[in-house]
Each structure stands twice: as structure tokens, then as C-alpha cells.
Structure 1
């Protein structure tokens, strides 16, 4: 009997040594989980049970269990290396059979599938072309190498400081009303009275030229200075700003007895606008080629729907707000690739920086103003007035109707076919076929007007050109981000993790992989970091959880156990020999 007891002890010690040796052999195996031998004593039993003096029958190896504790995380700087920090297992497909592992050796195969170092495919979720994760049924994660689709610019966010110390432009041009009259060859020295809406202007003819001998007149509360050239009388407003068009009732009488015809009635179509003379440069004098005609400028790269890059340049001109106590105002003009346009300009006009001639094209420079920005006396942005369908007028009049910190320009009214043929800007609400809005929204939230130099604190726009996949990154939720040559980062896939109620019930399969069993229970598959599921560390691997020092001590103990059991057999053999030698 003692021989069997000693033999079982030898077997147990051998098993312990084998388990310890396996742990030591895999001390550097990524994702390996150490094992331990678990033993139980053996007692022979009969139908009637065992007595109090029963002697045990040795030892039995009951189980070799793996310890699924956390191993150290070692960073490798390889993008698709992954380590799990906490609970969970990567899910692999081995020709359709699911396996589970903690070894995060992953890379791309020739077809773009993410596989481990034994060729098994990593399971997870792919993303669509917009970067949206298509969660649902698990599948092989395949990363496409095709270029991503470009995106047309539809919004620009800009935070800047406009220098409050800048000189003020002349504000809006002064309003001018002009009308002509028919002569009947008056005599030299004849005097006339022009009555305009009940207000008289005294004229005199010297035989060659006309002259005005009276002063300013007031019409509907606005004061005008009259002037005359040839047979045309002009009224110029004394105030900055464009005032509503007016219908005039005009009479012209010869007060010396020689008659002339009544002047033709004047309506809104006869109104002409010219620049004022405040002593500073004005919006009407703006010329993009002359730095002295605007306060500051800033350029932004934008993209059309085909991925072509364009330069959008904004010019800022500080204008007279009139109500100085309310703060300051700035006019904003915009060009794209050197072409200027405005919400109130003929779309067929081709006004460019190289061919700057607004007067020759019949364009009023003030109609190029896209918006007016208003700041309070503390330098904070009050709001922006969009001039779409609403001509630039006196800043004082506009200040009472500002919107939020944004405005929208529509570049679809201008023919840019020479530079963006077949392309669009803005969003594409119609889907396929594309029908772009050609609108770009500007947001100036956070902009200021302090006594400091002009500076752009931040600037961003949502468009981009096409790009190729240049690199990958994995975040803690298992989302795989693609880095593209156009500077964009977008999700291309996601790696979920599986957890088990009893991970020690998993069956080892080799290559640091396990299989599901009835003892382990079915897996719960979740996003990394959800619930009890651990996080994923990208560019890292989980080391073996084997403690070499502990294993070496265990090996010494197992060796001594083996020697002790061998001694038990040797002693029993000596006793047996003694009995045999009895005579």
C-alpha cells in the first residue's frame, strides 16, 4: 500500500513540476496565463463507509487551472498591437470557429483583414465611408486602402482680434440723388427756383454755366447739400449712410420771366450713389491691391466637392458706427481665388483682383460687403449682420438688427466654372445626384476687438480634399482610427471584447487561445470599457502573468516533494526486504 501512496506522490510532484516548468517556459509568451496544479487526498471507501483509523491512499491531481489575472502592459509603438487592461478577450475566427485570446499580436494581411500572428481573423465591426461604426453582427474587420471621399466646405469657424486702435473708414457712402431738367436757352443773368418736395433751391445762369446761390435743404428730416453741373442737380446727404429711395416732386421756375420746361419727375431708378468725404479712406475706395484701403485681411483654404483647394480671403474695414457710445463696427468683404462677389451684385459680373474695375462693371463696392460685425464698448462681439438681400447701410441703422455671431455667404450666384468646373460647396441635401447648396457659414463666436494687433487665435473649416490611409490608431474603446494624408482622422472599425462568467472554465487550445465550454458559460460581447469589460491599450501588448521568482520557488518545493516521495518508496522497500529475509 505504501508503494502506491509513494507512487501517487511521485506522480503529483511530477505534475507540479511539469506545470511549473510550463509556466517558466512561457514567462515571455504574450497573453499567456499561468497554471497551477490543484491536488486532493485519496481515501479508499467501502459500502459500509470508512472507520476512524482509515489511512489515506495518496494524492490525486484534481485539476490544472489557469489563473486569468492581469499581466503587465508593455508598449510597443506598433499601431495594431493591442493589450486588454481589465476583463475581456479578443474574439478570433479560425475558419469559422470562434476562439478567444489575450495576445494582441495583430496586423493587416494582403487583403486588408486584421489577423493575429497565426492568421486568425480578428472579429469586430466595420465603419462606413462617413466613419460611422456599423455595430450589429460580428464579422471580419477589413480595412480599405481606397482614398476617402473629399468633403466640400460648408462652415468656417474663426476666432480673431480686430485692433480697436485702427483708423475708421468713412462709413457708408453718402446718399446722392440726381435729376436733370430740359433747358430752353435761358438768357444770361436769368434766375430760377427749383422746388423739390416743397424745398426751394435758388439757381442762376450766367450764359454759360449754372450755379446755386442758396444753402442746404431738409427733406424728410435729412439734410442735403445741393450742387449743379450742366443741367443736372445733385443732392448729397450730410450724414453717412444710405437712406431709403424717395420719389421727388420737382418744379423749376424762371423767376426773371423767361420760361423753361418743368423738370422730369425723379423716381428710385434715377438714384445714384457716390462716396462721401470724411477725411479717411472709405469702403467705396477699397482696392485689394492697395493695402492702405482696408484695415486687415485673412486667408483660409477651403475645398470644393471634388477636393480642389481654393483660397478664401476676407477683408476687414473698420467703419463709422455713428452711435460711438455703442461700440465699433467692421465691414467684411470676401473673395475666392481672387474673385469678388456680394449678395447684392450681378452674378454675371466678373470682378477679380487682377482686373479690379468695379466702376467699369457697374458695381458699387459697398454692394460687395457680405456682413457687418458689431462690437460693444468692452470689445466683445455683439453680433453680425448678414447683408444677403439687405444692402449695406448705415452701421447705426444696422446695429439694432444684428443676428448671432455667424453669417452665410452664397457663392453659387457667381460663375466659378473656370476654377471649380462641375464642383460645389456647402452641403448636399439632395444626395445622389449631388445638388450642393453653395453656402458657406462663417462663425465668429469668441472674436474680440481689443487694443492689440490683429491676430487670428483659431481658425478651422470642415472641408477637406481626398486622402490615402497613412496610419492607424486604437483608442481605449477599441475604435480603430485611420489617419489620412489629408489630415483627417476617422473611425474605420471597432474591436469589441468578450467576457465570461467563469473564465477558468475556458478550454486552452494552444497559441494562447481558448475555446468556450459549458463551464465557462456563453460570452457577453460589449464595447471595451462598458460595464465590467476592460479597456484596450493600442500600441501595446499584455505580458505573461508568470512571476519567475515564484515559479522557481515552486519548482524547488516540487523537487523536494518528489525526493520525499521517492524516499517513502525506498523506505517501504527496505521494510519489505526485511520481511523477505526472515527465516
Structure 2
């Protein structure tokens, strides 16, 4: 039996050296997870009444999914997972692979791929930024553009000077901004405030100034609406609506029809809601702290960054940044049961269980770190020590075979 013991020991030691060599070889591989050798004794069961006898050892390896060091990079498409989970990719064979290797890039066709050319899978989003139902799929950014969006909402944060005397020209309390029609063409939208001579807490809102000198007909504007404030300077309500103007209660404001130049071919009129929730009347100078609108012109794709939840935040030439999709992430009940393949991927097996689709940072999934990569979790110093130990182990098992052979020779040489 001594030969069997030594032979099994040599096989186990060789397996151990293979595992150590694999770890050392991949100590610089992004997202690589090390393995360790696990030894088990082999025992032969004897017949009834006898005693069991050892037959040697067997060795197997198990993957260690401990966290690797996360290192910042200058590539905005580099991503790392801090915690549990895997990115989903479509392998060259068409399988769904799972990887921790996050050095992504765009190929010549504009597809988001891994460094090995495999498509990165994402979850498409609805208008509210929530993932749509359905299986993850690849994304192409080569023809990504963003169409023009007509202005639908204007939000104002303005203080009207409570000290303004009745009869003061509305030109002293006016502002304007650029709104967009359905083709992305800019149009000026103005808003002027004139104090009601009969009520100190009421102001008329106009969309322009009067022009008595205009020919052939002088321009005399009528108020779009009337806004009132309480004794504390907080907005109270909007009333006395003009023609075609409707009242808003949540938020406080009004909606009106804006007609752009019909010669442009844009949709006309535009229905624009004006949010006045943040308009106040205090004893401070007239001040516009914020005036914004939600329209924009068409834009072309400029670049992309990755948010903490895995959202692909695309930037466009018109200054808009929005989430185009979200990186698909999966977790497994038993990640050690995954089958490793080439290109830093793992495949689902019966032992791993089926993948659960996750959003980064939710439900046990790790968070996404953009412009960073997860290094291999191999401890090179520990592996070098393990290699020396494995070498001694191999030599010792070889020595048992040599010693057994010498003993066997002594017996055969007896006369």
C-alpha cells in the first residue's frame, strides 16, 4: 500500500502546484479570483469485523471570492464591483457569462464590450429611469443621439420687492429665458410683474411690455394672471387668469399657450406650465435666483460615465446628461459552484444555482465604482510561500515511494 499512498500524495501535490501556479500566473489579471487546494483522506472500508485502512489522499480546488483591491483609473468606462455580484456578458459562443472584469470599452461598431470583445449586457430603462422587464441585452452607442424636446415646464425662484410703490413700471421686475419648440429652436419667453395699486400683496403677471409707439397699432398687453401673497410673503394663489390661461394648484402657478414662429414648422402652440411655488414677496430687492425650463435642442453623443447604481450616464452636446441603461448585475446563492471559463468569465451550473438579477447596492448586490478596476485577489507573497510548501510536500511523497522501493528490493534480494 505504500506505493499507493505515495502516488496519491504525488498527484495531490501536483494538483496543489497547479493551483498555486494558476494563482501566481493571474496575480495581475483584473477581476481574477484565486483558488485554494483542499485535501481529503482516502480510506478503504474493511469487511465486517476488520479495521478501515488509509489509501492516501485526494485533492480538489475551490474558488475564493474575496474582494480584490479597487484601484482608480482614468478610463470612465472602467468599473469595479465593491461587494457581491457579477457583471453579465454575452460570450463569443452565445452563452451568458458572469465576470468581475470591468475594463469595458466601445468597439468600432459602438457596442459596449469587454476587453475581450464580449458584449456587456444592460437593462433598458423607462422614462422614469426604472429597469424594464425582460432579459438583459447589449447596447450600441454609435448612433446615440437625443432628439429635441419642447419646453413644457418653467420653474421660477423669484423675490418680488414688497417695498415696490404702486405705479412702478413692470420693466423693473422682469426676467426672461430661452424656451424650445418641438424642433429645438429657441424662443424668448418673458415674465414681468407689476404691483396691483389696490392691493399691496397682489401682483399682475405679463408676458411683455407695452409699446404705445408701435405702428400701426400700439401694443397694450393684458395680464396672464394675478398672483397673491400672504402677510408672511409666501405665495398664496394665482387668480384672474387671462384668455387661454389655466390655473395650477399643485404646484401653484398657471399654464399658458405659447405660439412660436409658425414658419419654422414646429408644433404650435406650445402648452407651458409655470411653477411659481418658490416665488416670494419680501422686503428685499427684486431678485431672480433660479429660472429654468425642461426643453432642449437636439444633441449628439459625447461620452459616458457609470453611476453607483450601474446606470450608464450618457452626455450629449446640448448639455443634457441622462441614464441610457443600467449595467446588468447578477448574484448567486453559491458562487463557488460557478464554472470558470476563459476571458475571466464564469458560467452558471447546478451547484451555483440560478442567477438573481440585481440593481447595484440593493438586495445584497455590491455597489459600482466608476473609473476604477478590481485587481486580482491573489496574495502573491502567500502564494510564493505556498509554492515552497507544495514543493516540500511533493518531495516528501516522492521519498515515501523511494523508501518503499528500497524496502521491497531488500525483501526480493533475500537468499
TM-score under structure 2 length normalisation: 0.88
Counterparts of 1:171-250 in structure 2 under 5 Å?
Answer: none
**Paired residue secondary structure (1:554):** helix
Q: Does 1:87 align with 2:74?
A: no
- Equivalent position of 2:181 in the other structure: 304
**Paired residue secondary structure (2:57):** strand
After TM superposition, give the deviation of residue 128 of structure 1 in Å: 7.2
CA contact (8 A) 2:315 2:321 kept: yes
- Equivalent position of 2:8 in the other structure: 8
- Equivalent position of 2:256 in the other structure: 409
**Paired residue secondary structure (1:388):** coil
Instruction: Note closer, same or farther for the CA distance 1:527–1:513 as it changes in structure 2 (3 Å cut).
Output: same
After TM superposition, give the deviation of residue 130 of structure 1 in Å: 9.0
**Paired residue secondary structure (1:562):** helix
Partner deviation per Cα, 1:415-474 (whole Å, 9 max, x = no partner): 7336xx2123xxxxxxxxxxx552222111122222222222222211111111112122
**Paired residue secondary structure (1:449):** strand
- Equivalent position of 1:470 in the other structure: 302
CA contact (8 A) 1:126 1:142 kept: no
CA contact (8 A) 2:123 2:327 kept: yes
- Equivalent position of 2:335 in the other structure: 503
Question: Displaced runs of 4+ in structure 1, greater than 6 A?
Answer: 128-132, 401-404
After TM superposition, give the deviation of residue 32 of structure 1 in Å: 0.8
The size of the alignment, in residue pairs, is 412
* Counterpart pick for 1:368 among 213, 217, 222: 222
Q: How far, CA to CA, are the matches of 1:9 and 1:108 in structure 2?
A: 49
- Equivalent position of 1:333 in the other structure: 206
**Unaligned residue ranges in structure 2 (runs of 5+):** none
After TM superposition, give the deviation of residue 150 of structure 1 in Å: 0.6
- Equivalent position of 1:100 in the other structure: 98
**Paired residue secondary structure (1:368):** coil
Instruction: Note closer, same or farther for the CA distance 1:30–1:536 as it changes in structure 2 (3 Å cut).
Output: same
**Paired residue secondary structure (1:139):** coil
CA contact (8 A) 2:298 2:318 kept: yes
**Paired residue secondary structure (1:21):** helix
CA contact (8 A) 1:132 1:491 kept: no
- Equivalent position of 2:73 in the other structure: 76
Partner deviation per Cα, 1:315-338 (whole Å, 9 max, x = no partner): 22333234xxxx433222224xxx
Partner deviation per Cα, 1:113-145 (whole Å, 9 max, x = no partner): 211111111223335799775431332222252
Partner deviation per Cα, 1:148-199 (whole Å, 9 max, x = no partner): 1111112100011122233321xxxxxxxxxxxxxxxxxxxxxxxxxxxxxx
**Paired residue secondary structure (1:331):** strand
Partner deviation per Cα, 1:533-566 (whole Å, 9 max, x = no partner): 3333333222212222332332232223223223
**Paired residue secondary structure (1:369):** coil
CA contact (8 A) 2:223 2:242 kept: no
After TM superposition, give the deviation of residue 360 of structure 1 in Å: 5.0
After TM superposition, give the deviation of residue 50 of structure 1 in Å: 7.7
Q: How far, CA to CA, are the matches of 1:150 and 1:390 in structure 2?
A: 26
CA contact (8 A) 1:386 1:407 kept: no
* Counterpart pick for 1:567 among 399, 405, 408: 399
CA contact (8 A) 1:125 1:141 kept: no
Partner deviation per Cα, 1:238-270 (whole Å, 9 max, x = no partner): xxxxxxxxxxxxxxxxxxxxxxxxxxxxxxxxx
CA contact (8 A) 1:133 1:492 kept: no
Partner deviation per Cα, 1:462-517 (whole Å, 9 max, x = no partner): 11111111121222333222111212122222222222232222221122112222
- Equivalent position of 1:513 in the other structure: 345
Instruction: Note closer, same or farther for the CA distance 1:491–1:551 as it changes in structure 2 (3 Å cut).
Output: same
RMSD (CA atoms): 3.0
CA contact (8 A) 1:129 1:148 kept: no
Counterparts of 1:420-431 in structure 2 under 5 Å?
Answer: 421-424=264-267
- Equivalent position of 1:485 in the other structure: 317
Instruction: Note closer, same or farther for the CA distance 1:491–1:121 as it changes in structure 2 (3 Å cut).
Output: same
Instruction: Note closer, same or farther for the CA distance 1:561–1:402 as it changes in structure 2 (3 Å cut).
Output: closer
**Paired residue secondary structure (1:511):** helix
Q: How far, CA to CA, are the matches of 1:8 and 1:390 in structure 2?
A: 91
**Unaligned residue ranges in structure 1 (runs of 5+):** 170-280, 287-292, 341-350, 392-400, 425-435
CA contact (8 A) 2:258 2:269 kept: no
- Equivalent position of 2:161 in the other structure: 163
CA contact (8 A) 2:122 2:326 kept: yes
CA contact (8 A) 1:128 1:492 kept: no
Instruction: Note closer, same or farther for the CA distance 1:9–1:146 as it changes in structure 2 (3 Å cut).
Output: closer
After TM superposition, give the deviation of residue 313 of structure 1 in Å: 2.4
Counterparts of 1:518-529 in structure 2 under 5 Å?
Answer: 518-529=350-361
**Paired residue secondary structure (1:408):** strand
CA contact (8 A) 2:248 2:254 kept: no
- Equivalent position of 1:142 in the other structure: 140
- Equivalent position of 2:192 in the other structure: 315
CA contact (8 A) 2:78 2:373 kept: yes
CA contact (8 A) 1:155 1:442 kept: yes
Q: How far, CA to CA, are the matches of 2:72 and 2:107 in structure 1?
A: 22
